[in-house]
Amino acid sequence: MSDIMLYAAIAVPLALAGAAILPAARALVLRLAVIAPLPALALALVAPPSALSEPWLIMGTVIGLDSVSRIFLAFSAILWAAAAATARRWMRGDGHATGFITCFLLAMTGNIGLILAQDAFSFYALFALMSFASFGLVVHARSDKAYRAGRLYIGFVVAGELALFAGLLLASREAGSPLLADLRMAELSGLSVALLIGGFAVKLGIMPLHFWLPPAHGAAPVPASAVLSGAMIKAGLFGMLSSLPLGLHAYPDHATVMLAAGLVTIFAAALIGVREESPKAVLGFSSVSQMGIIALGLGAGLMAPAAWTVLLPVVVFLAAHHALAKGALFLGAGMFGAVTGLRARILVMLALILPAAALAGLTATSGALGKEALKSALETGSADWLPWLIAALTLSGVATTLLMARFAHTLWKQAPGAPEMVRAQPDGLVVPFLGLVALSAILPATWPLIVPEIAFAVIADKTADPLPILVGIVIALAAIIRAHALGIGVQAFIQGITAPFLALRSHIDAASRRRARSLRRAAHRIPAMLSQRAESLRLGQTAIAALILAVIAVGMLEMRNVGAGSAAPMPELGIDMPQPWD
């Protein structure tokens, strides 16, 4: 059963690409492209580790699955499925849809195949298939911008393929075997390691080999950009993990170059990316910056082989985290360009906050867990580089936050253009976009279920500090305010800032004037009111005085009557003495 699944993972997308040659099958191929990565996904989820040898193919092909390739295969298949579901609607009615879907399926075949390849020759053949087929995705628009990006892309691809071919040949000769497992166990020369790193670094997008990546992302259609950034650049990382003797031999010179390149890449990409006007180009530079973080882990492994057992699980987790989050951001950019109503765009923007926060490293997200785990893993490596690496990882949160803020700003101003048919019915983009958003959000919770044997290296780590993200938000807000002030003019900006306070003061002054007028009117009415009151008071006093006199008179009469009935005789005089009141 495992052998059939191994065959199907590569054969299904390749067969669909071949079927696109037939005119009658092209529409069907476009609809069925979404099922092409499903055999690979099923293989990653349910098949046990296995290997299959075909001596007759190429120079002896061996394909198989192990613990690391399983993870890469799983998130790559998910990304290809989401991108294919988006392309099914995105390419409907496109005059070049056949060329796109053919190149798309061939690139998928190469990407899935190289993850399963166990020997250097089949790995190289499938890696080259993925790289050259992607050229068709970059130039799909047939515009001047697309052709410029395509020429830049193919130039770097050819250079990288030459370095990779030479490195694999030399490494196979030194190891005495074309199997990648034997390459990982051999003590390779510095030249072969340098060639392998250079060839794979082109695909990974580490500076200064990154120039092709942002233009290619900007020129390719949204479904292609999602897999270019989410899945295919991870082929460079997977190639290094598959062929370099990490954890066994130290290469301090190569490690120094890798660490320095990673440090520069994190921040230089952010500084350039925040000046871009296209949201897809901003995401491209974000991918470059994120690959700089992964380069730190690779460089630390080359520097200190003993630390690799701790670094490997973290690097693999960071790859899966970036793939899902970046795929969601690219598909979300396309979704934002497809919807037209203000309410719908606000909802899409709110959904994009989740993968953007994960990339920036917000507390409890996959990005925060990955960065904190990498900090802990680096502590087992070189002590000389450790302070710089920890500072870089901490400040990377500021850099990524600025890039995500720039992405949101440019997306709102200039969303990627969507085909007319997609804008008319954007519902077909919702499921793949929200699916990747959800998977990116729940990755920390599901990671122990996916890879329980290595999950402790990430999940059991400490909580991330939110301060870098807060600093990034403050800087982003300050930059937005400054740009707005320069755009409308400083004097107009100051007037706009002071306008609410001036309006409040005017309102207070108007209220004071109204009260003063009311007091003046009341002052004019007071004499007449006092005169009327005086008359009423005099009348009241007379009535009160008459009432008092009446009460006194009644009291006197009552006392007289009481006194007359209670008189007592005086026995001494024999007469009656009247009471004193009489």
C-alpha 135/C-alpha 156 separation (Å) is: 11
pLDDT in tens, 129-154: 999 999 999 999 899 999 999 999 99
Domain-located, residue 506:
no
Which residue has 């005495």 as its token pair? 176
Q: Which residue has the higher pLDDT, 538 or 328?
A: 328
pLDDT of 335 above 60: yes
Identify the helix (H) or strand (E) that includes residue 5. Answer: helix 2-19
Residues 299 and 430 in one domain: yes
Q: Where are the beta strands (DSSP E) in 66-207?
A: none
Over residues 327-333, mean pLDDT:
94
Domain end residue (candidates: 414, 439, 462): 462
Q: Which two tokens stand for residue 407?
A: 């992405």
pLDDT of 379 above 60: yes
Domain-located, residue 570:
no
Residues 183 and 286 in one domain: no
Residues 26 and 135 in one domain: yes
Residues 274 and 185 in one domain: no
Domain-located, residue 322:
yes
pLDDT of 14 above 60: yes
Going by pLDDT thresholds of 50, 70 and 90, the confidence category of residue 571 is: very low
The rounded Cα 578 to chain-centroid distance in angstroms is: 113
CB atoms near residue 434 (< 10 Å)? 18
- The boundaries of the domain holding residue 291 are 246-462
Which residue has 């919702």 as its token pair? 430
Domain-located, residue 139:
yes
Domain end residue (candidates: 172, 202, 232): 232
pLDDT of 417 above 70: yes
Residues 201 and 172 in one domain: yes
Residues 162 and 279 in one domain: no
All residues at 6 or more sequence positions from 459 whose CB lies less than 8 Å from its CB, including other chains: 369, 444, 447, 448
Domain-located, residue 212:
yes
Domain end residue (candidates: 206, 232, 258): 232
- In 3D, which of 375, 372, 396, 374 has the Cα closest to residue 387? 375
Task: Output the pLDDT for position 203.
Answer: 92
Domain-located, residue 24:
yes
Q: Give the side-chain half-sphere CA count within 13 A for 296.
A: 33
Over residues 166-182, mean pLDDT:
94
pLDDT of 272 above 70: yes
pLDDT in tens, 225-249: 999 998 999 999 999 999 999 989 9
Task: Output the pLDDT for position 575.
Answer: 38
Residues 301 and 215 in one domain: no
Domain-located, residue 494:
no
Task: Output the pLDDT for position 24.
Answer: 85
Task: Output the pLDDT for position 582.
Answer: 35
**pLDDT cut 70: percent of the chain above it:** 87
Q: Which long-range contacts (CB under 8 A, 24 or more apart) does 343-348 make?
A: 345/412
Share the mean pLDDT of the chain.
85
Domain-located, residue 69:
yes
Residues 298 and 391 in one domain: yes
Residues 227 and 311 in one domain: no
Task: Output the pLDDT for position 579.
Answer: 43
Residues 252 and 214 in one domain: no
Q: Give this prediction's pTM.
A: 0.83
pLDDT in tens, 476-516: 788 778 776 777 777 776 777 777 777 788 888 888 888 87
Q: Which residue has the higher pLDDT, 377 or 108?
A: 108
Task: Output the pLDDT for position 171.
Answer: 95
pLDDT of 328 above 90: yes
Task: Output the pLDDT for position 563.
Answer: 53
**pLDDT cut 90: percent of the chain above it:** 52
- In 3D, which of 29, 223, 14, 250 has the Cα closest to residue 109? 14
Q: How many residues does the chain have?
A: 582
What's the total number of domains in the chain? Answer: 2
Over residues 82-91, mean pLDDT:
92
Residues 401 and 439 in one domain: yes
Residues 226 and 263 in one domain: no
Task: Output the pLDDT for position 576.
Answer: 45
Task: Output the pLDDT for position 59.
Answer: 80
